[in-house]
Structure formats: structure tokens, C-alpha cells
A and B are shown apart, each in its own frame.
Chain A
């Protein structure tokens, strides 16, 4: 068990190394020049050259990479070229919490809505309710999130004035105000996942409800709610956790659009503006954080299986 976990962690390190080299290299290969962007349209060759050497961009690729990697591991992430922002503060202390709040809020919301909806669909299989939830799920998957976001803003924030249009308040500082600001963006981001979780729950539960031990429970005379919610729903945990781990990429991708529409200062907005501005170091920090998050969550998913399924606890 421990050995297995260590192996996973070693694997993770290799993956991170590959990711860092690839993202560093790809950005250099992309056309466009941070210095030209920094200097705008008004600059001379001298200012170009002096800035280039000041930023170390005249060094060979490997030197630039090694420089960056050594500093990065020590937590010294550098300053952004143009705005001179301290990247560690900007990316890790300011942007990451916003994205984590948004992502976790959406995920919790999606589970709280998706699982009951899926369970009900499974119990009421092939009824109007089931068909309705299928339509809802299909719409949720197909509806572009940025459009949904804008529609929600116009209806709930501008017309009804129920929620704020935009902005972020840290739930650590003001919990309820933070949640209040998260409702519209959370709803926007979670539609896709609500749909997915509903369908997954329904499919899994229908299968589970045909298992012999469910029949046994019913034969024991346990009430229907207990059969479904205790014996049945428990079995959803495994596939649900697996799929959420795999779909984390989609979630993080979704935060980019959601953050832009609702003007949340998270990793998504940071990455977008950094890529457009060729802020190599900021992009690099963003990619690394996202990669660590993605790999870390999947590592946790792997490690969580024995807890979710007792059959996996006895190692062979």
C-alpha cells in the first residue's frame, strides 16, 4: 500500500517535469515576442535590446529553463515582465484561491443537485420525470457556459437585481458574502457537471438496483428509502470519484470562461492575459499550478479507492 503510494508520487514528479519542459518550450516556439508587446508600438531598438538582456531572454533555451526551474522549486517564481507583479503572490496567493473556491463550490453544488436528481431518475425510470431530467441533462451538457453566464447575469443580476453581476469576495474573510458572490458563477460552471453526474448516477443506480443484495435487502423487509439511499447510492461513490478526477480538466477549463464572464481574478483570467501578453513566467506558474492540481487530485482519487470500496483494502 505504502509502496504503491510512493510509486504514484514518483510518477507524479516525472509527469510534472515533462509538463514543465513542454510548456516552457511550446511558449517559446509560439510566435510573438513579449518585449514587443511590453514596449507597445513606440520603442527603439536600444530599448528593445536592453530589455531583452535585462529579462534574460537573450540566453539559450536550456539556460533559461534551468534558471527558471531552480528558482521555481525554491518558491522564487520571479516577477512578471510588464506589470512587475510578484508572481508567487499573484498566482499562488491571489489567483489560485479564487479558482479553487469557484471549482469546489461548483463541484459541491453539482453533487448536491446531480446525485438526488440521478437517484430520482433511476427510481422513476422511464417515467415523465426521467425523460424530463434526461432533457435537462442533455441541455446542460450542450449549453455553452459563457452564454449561460451572460443570460444568468442579465436575468438575475440586472433585471431582478438578486445577485451581484461580478466580483469575488473571499469566503474566508466573509463567508456568506463570498457564497453570495459565487452563486451565479457556480451555477454557470456546474451545469455541465450536474448533467454528467445525473446521468452517471442514474445509470449506475439502475444497474445496482438489479443486484442480488438489493433483492436480499428488500426481502429482509427494509424500507424502500433505506434500500436506495443506503445500500444503493453508496455504490455511486467509486464511479463518481473516478469520473470527477478525470473531468477535473474540463472543470478547470470551464473556470477560464466563467472567470472572464464574472470577472473573477482567478487562474483562468491570469492565464488568458498572460498567454496573450507572452508573460512566459506567469504562464509557466499557471501551468505548473494547474498540473499539480490535476495530478494531485487524481493521485488522491487513486488513493481513495480502498476507502470507498472495502474489497480493495486487502492487498494481495
Chain B
């Protein structure tokens, strides 16, 4: 038997993931080298301008290792860096070195990171291998436990080779690694100042200290979070702004009015219902594409009536996705056939609509499955909904008549968001709908939500073959083979209709035309590194 060249496999896989330019540069010394060198720039950036951006959603904490919200990451990512970062060229999402200057792979389980030289935290302490080790351990085994700890569960050993070199040993090949070590959505790879963590303890989330382009200044509850430029930032010439204010707001239409009147310069999130107005306004630029998410109608597989596979299949084929997109998502979303979403560059199938995989609207098929269901009478089922997210209760109201077509009477129950979470977590529903926003990798898209004993498997769908496929894919480093495994897993999920997938949603950001240089990344990020204001 021919031995497998793991290093080659991983290199190929990474070259597919990282930009071509980065890989070419990296061929000499390590496997990868960042485009810019680590020496701090002697040319100091001239910062000017003060940007004010409305942040519409909840900010729970500015501690990257503890936040549960992408709205917090939007701000955190301007204060901190990760070992890696997400980049986007308008077509492909790639994972590039950030604080790491190079990433060498000794074998498929041992990864060596060389850090940029001379990088300092905002408190003046050096960002070296010790700090990286500290941050990774804080995520992996810190107390209280980080909700992102599972992302580093396979990390077995951290060795400091020299002050700027760190060697990570994993117990298995780990395909999710580029996402896990990310400073953005992955969160687990964000590097925090050890001195600040020791100083502030549990209050670090209100006193964050990172290496990023902006320093934290203040956070006034329900009012604003203020940042100021970090003049010693390691990327030459950045940041361009002198100050940035995130104005904390509850009411998106007020934020839009403030944008139109020039009181603020942008919004971190522009709900779908307001997009028409933004498009009609000449002095604003809209950014937004389909991001890493999927929306679905969840069914409770643990109890009657949806423990019946044929009834679930009937539901999955009865949903008219075109109508749902038009009525519930303001015509802005994209029909989904399976959970894996477009920005997962290597895993999304661009021909999904014609591939025959997944599910779509076919009333005949739905009715034939309905005819096979055990219960042939009219079925009454509780559809739990909440005023939550941009579409709120619209999905339920659009879906209910479609269910009536196949003899299912959905009883719509509107509950308050906290109750909704509690009931969902206790699997106390027949139907609910949700949008799963995933880290940009199929693993986090599928596995924790649908594995048999998964903490987030609220519908309780169980299939051990699916579990095995996902577990294999986690350690499969060859992208094509990994993709094939995930497709099989998705097909099982769709065939047994564990959920009925509906759409992939766009996430919008809007800036005044005065704002220049914003680089859109389809991971709900608002990176202000390159932004300037006229």
C-alpha cells in the first residue's frame, strides 16, 4: 500500500483555501508567509476622521472568547487579531495569516506558527508565543468555560519553541482548524492580552485589550462604544480613521433616518425590510451578499406527529420556497436545497439547483408522502414563533397555508424571545423556524446541530450513519473527499427530512458615500481597518 503523503495533501488543501499569492510567497521558507512582513512599520499612518456607525443588535460582551453574537464580533474584530483571519476577493473566501507570519505543517497533526515580530498589545505588553499560548489555553480550559472551548478540544499540546514560534499538536488531523484559529467568526483563535485578563478578570469583556487597529476607549450602556486608532498597529498605513463610535440602537428605522440626515455614517446591519429605502437613497452604499447561513422549518422528531418520517418528508416537499423568499424574506434571500451555504467556497455546490440533491417545492410528491403517513386525519401541530431576527413571524405566517395544503393545521403560537429559546432548548414544540448562522465551514454547519446527541439538536433527529460521516469528514483533509462526505451526510439529513431547509439569507451593511475603503467579507464582519471618511 502506498503511504499517504499527509503533508502534500494538507498543502494542497491549504493552497486551495489560501489565496494563490500567499501560497506562492510561502513556498520558500515555511509553507505559508503573510504578504506583509512582521517588522513594525516605520512609516506611521496619519489617522483622521471619526466614523459613527449604528450597531442595531445586542452587544453582550467584548470578550472574544465568551461572546455568542456576531454583532459583538463586529466590534471585537477591530480591537483584536487572530492567528488567522478571513479574506474575501469578491468570489472566494480564504483564511489568511493575521498575527501568524507563517504557518508550517510538520505533519497533519503538528502545526508550527511563526508570529510577527514586534507586535504589542494596546497596553504595551508584547504579543508573543506566551500570549498566544495563554489565549488558546483560556479558550480550551479556562474557568469559567468558554462556549468556544470545543473548537480546541482536539488540541493536545502547545509548545513554545522560541519567543515568536509556537507549535500546536492535535490528537487528530483537524479539518476545521483554519476556522477555529480565526480571530473573526471562529473566535477561538483570537489573541487577548494576558496582562489585561489578569488585571480585569471577568470584567475583561468591558476592558478589552488586543493588538488590533483600534483601541477600546469606553462603553456606555444603550448608548455607544468608543474606539480610537492604535497608532502602533502592525499593518503599515492602517488604520486610516482616528476614531470610531458604535452607536448602540434598538430601532433600525431610526438608525436609517439618522443615516439619511447625516448624523451617522453607517449601519452594521440593515434589516431586509429597509433595503429598498437604502437603494433609493443616492448618498448611501449598500454592501451585502448571501452569507454563511441557512434557514429552516424545524420539526420535533422526538414526538408525535413528526416522529413519522413520511409526514416530515411531506412537509419538506410542500414548502413553496419561491413564495417564502418573496413574502417572508422580501425577495432578498436565495432558495436553499441543503444547509451548506455559498460562502463556504469549496463545499457549496454552485449547481445545487439542478443537481437533484436536497428538496424543493413539489406538491404532488408532498401529497404522496402525506398519503403514506400513519395519521390520515387532520393533524394539528403547534408552530412556535417569536419576534426575532429580521423576518420575525413572517416565515410562520407564510408557511402555515402551505401546511394546510397537506392537511396539517399549524397552530401559530407567538411567544416572547426568551421563552422561545427556553422552549426550543427543551424541544417543546412541533414546528419552529430558525436561521442557523454558521462559521464558514460545513462542520459547524451540520455536525453540532444534527449529530444524534448534539447539544443543539433541538429537533432530535437521529441517524448514526450521519454521525459517522461527519466524524470522518472532521479528520479528512483532502477537500474533495471531505466535500463528498458532507454531501452524503446532507443527503441523509434531507432524505429523512430532519428539517425542511428554506433559504440562505443575505446580511446587509450600509455606509454613507463619504465612507471609503470598506472591504466586505461575507461573515457579518465590519472591519474598519482600511476604512476612511471623506
When distances are taken between beta carbons in the complex, the residues of chain B under 8 Å from A265 are 220-223, 248
A42 pairs with B148, CB closer than 8 A = yes
The answer to whether A166 and B258 touch (CB under 8 A), given A44-B147, A46-B145, A260-B250, is yes
A68 vs B220: C-alpha distance when bound (angstroms): 24
**Is A50 on the interface with B (CB-CB < 8 A)?**
yes
Give chain A nearest CB distance to B87 CB in angstroms. Answer: 24
Contact residues of A between 32 and 51, Cβ < 8 Å to B: 32-33, 36-47, 50-51
B68 pairs with A153, CB closer than 8 A = no
Listed stretches B100-108, B373-381, B419-427; interface member = B419-427
Listed stretches A80-88, A108-116, A193-201, A210-218; interface member = A80-88
Give chain B nearest CB distance to A276 CB in angstroms. Answer: 6
A270 vs B250: C-alpha distance when bound (angstroms): 11
Give chain B nearest CB distance to A157 CB in angstroms. Answer: 5
**Is B354 on the interface with A (CB-CB < 8 A)?**
no
User: Which of A40, A45, A54, A263 touches B249 (beta carbons < 8 Å)?
Assistant: A263
A46 vs B140: C-alpha distance when bound (angstroms): 13
Which residues from chain B sit less than 8 Å from chain A, CB to CB?
58-61, 67-69, 143-150, 202-203, 205-206, 219-223, 247-251, 253-255, 257-258, 260-263, 416-419, 421-423, 425, 448, 455-456
Nearest CB to that of A165 among chain B residues? B258
A40 pairs with B69, CB closer than 8 A = yes
When distances are taken between beta carbons in the complex, the residues of chain A under 8 Å from B250 are 260, 263, 269, 272-273
B418 pairs with A37, CB closer than 8 A = yes
A273 vs B448: C-alpha distance when bound (angstroms): 29
A262 vs B253: C-alpha distance when bound (angstroms): 10
When distances are taken between beta carbons in the complex, the residues of chain A under 8 Å from B417 are 32, 276
The answer to whether A84 and B61 touch (CB under 8 A), given A50-B145, A263-B247, A263-B250, is yes
A279 vs B295: C-alpha distance when bound (angstroms): 29
A261 vs B425: C-alpha distance when bound (angstroms): 32
**Is A278 on the interface with B (CB-CB < 8 A)?**
yes
When distances are taken between beta carbons in the complex, the residues of chain A under 8 Å from B247 are 167, 263
**Is A168 on the interface with B (CB-CB < 8 A)?**
yes
Give chain B nearest CB distance to A102 CB in angstroms. Answer: 14
A47 vs B147: C-alpha distance when bound (angstroms): 7
Give chain A nearest CB distance to B390 CB in angstroms. Answer: 16
The answer to whether A36 and B421 touch (CB under 8 A), given A154-B257, A273-B250, is yes
When distances are taken between beta carbons in the complex, the residues of chain A under 8 Å from B145 are 44, 46-47, 50
A31 vs B419: C-alpha distance when bound (angstroms): 5
The answer to whether A40 and B147 touch (CB under 8 A), given A32-B416, A85-B221, A261-B254, is yes
When distances are taken between beta carbons in the complex, the residues of chain A under 8 Å from B255 are 263
Nearest CB to that of A149 among chain B residues? B254
A265 vs B248: C-alpha distance when bound (angstroms): 9
**Is A158 on the interface with B (CB-CB < 8 A)?**
yes
A32 pairs with B223, CB closer than 8 A = no
B61 pairs with A83, CB closer than 8 A = yes
Nearest CB to that of A82 among chain B residues? B60
A54 vs B143: C-alpha distance when bound (angstroms): 11
Which residues from chain A sit less than 8 Å from chain B, CB to CB?
30-33, 36-47, 50-51, 54, 79, 82-85, 90, 94-95, 150, 153-154, 157-158, 161, 164-168, 260-263, 265-266, 269-270, 272-273, 276-278
B222 pairs with A269, CB closer than 8 A = yes
A45 vs B149: C-alpha distance when bound (angstroms): 12
B68 pairs with A41, CB closer than 8 A = yes
A265 vs B425: C-alpha distance when bound (angstroms): 32
When distances are taken between beta carbons in the complex, the residues of chain B under 8 Å from A40 are 60, 67-69, 147
When distances are taken between beta carbons in the complex, the residues of chain A under 8 Å from B416 are 32, 276
Nearest CB to that of B448 among chain A residues? A42
When distances are taken between beta carbons in the complex, the residues of chain B under 8 Å from A85 are 206, 219, 221
B422 pairs with A32, CB closer than 8 A = yes
User: Which of B146, B206, B260, B421 touches A37 (beta carbons < 8 Å)?
Assistant: B421
Which of the listed residues B145, B149, B220, B416 has the most CB atoms from chain A within 10 Å of its own CB?
Answer: B145
B418 pairs with A158, CB closer than 8 A = no
A153 vs B257: C-alpha distance when bound (angstroms): 7
The answer to whether A84 and B422 touch (CB under 8 A), given A42-B68, A157-B257, A277-B58, is no
The answer to whether A50 and B221 touch (CB under 8 A), given A44-B149, A84-B61, is no
Nearest CB to that of B425 among chain A residues? A36
26 A–B contact pairs at CB < 8 A?
A30-B419, A32-B418, A32-B421, A36-B418, A36-B421, A36-B422, A39-B147, A40-B60, A41-B456, A42-B68, A42-B148, A44-B150, A47-B144, A54-B144, A83-B59, A83-B219, A83-B221, A84-B206, A90-B221, A165-B257, A165-B258, A166-B249, A166-B257, A263-B247, A269-B250, A273-B250
B58 pairs with A165, CB closer than 8 A = no
A39 vs B63: C-alpha distance when bound (angstroms): 13
A168 pairs with B261, CB closer than 8 A = no
Nearest CB to that of B421 among chain A residues? A36
Nearest CB to that of A47 among chain B residues? B145
A33 pairs with B422, CB closer than 8 A = yes
A95 pairs with B222, CB closer than 8 A = yes
When distances are taken between beta carbons in the complex, the residues of chain A under 8 Å from B143 are 50
B206 pairs with A165, CB closer than 8 A = no
The answer to whether A94 and B221 touch (CB under 8 A), given A84-B203, A84-B206, is yes
User: Which of A38, A95, A154 touches B221 (beta carbons < 8 Å)?
Assistant: A95
B222 pairs with A273, CB closer than 8 A = yes
A46 vs B202: C-alpha distance when bound (angstroms): 17
Give chain A nearest CB distance to B492 CB in angstroms. Answer: 23
B251 pairs with A278, CB closer than 8 A = no
B263 pairs with A150, CB closer than 8 A = no
A63 vs B68: C-alpha distance when bound (angstroms): 30
Give chain B nearest CB distance to A141 CB in angstroms. Answer: 24
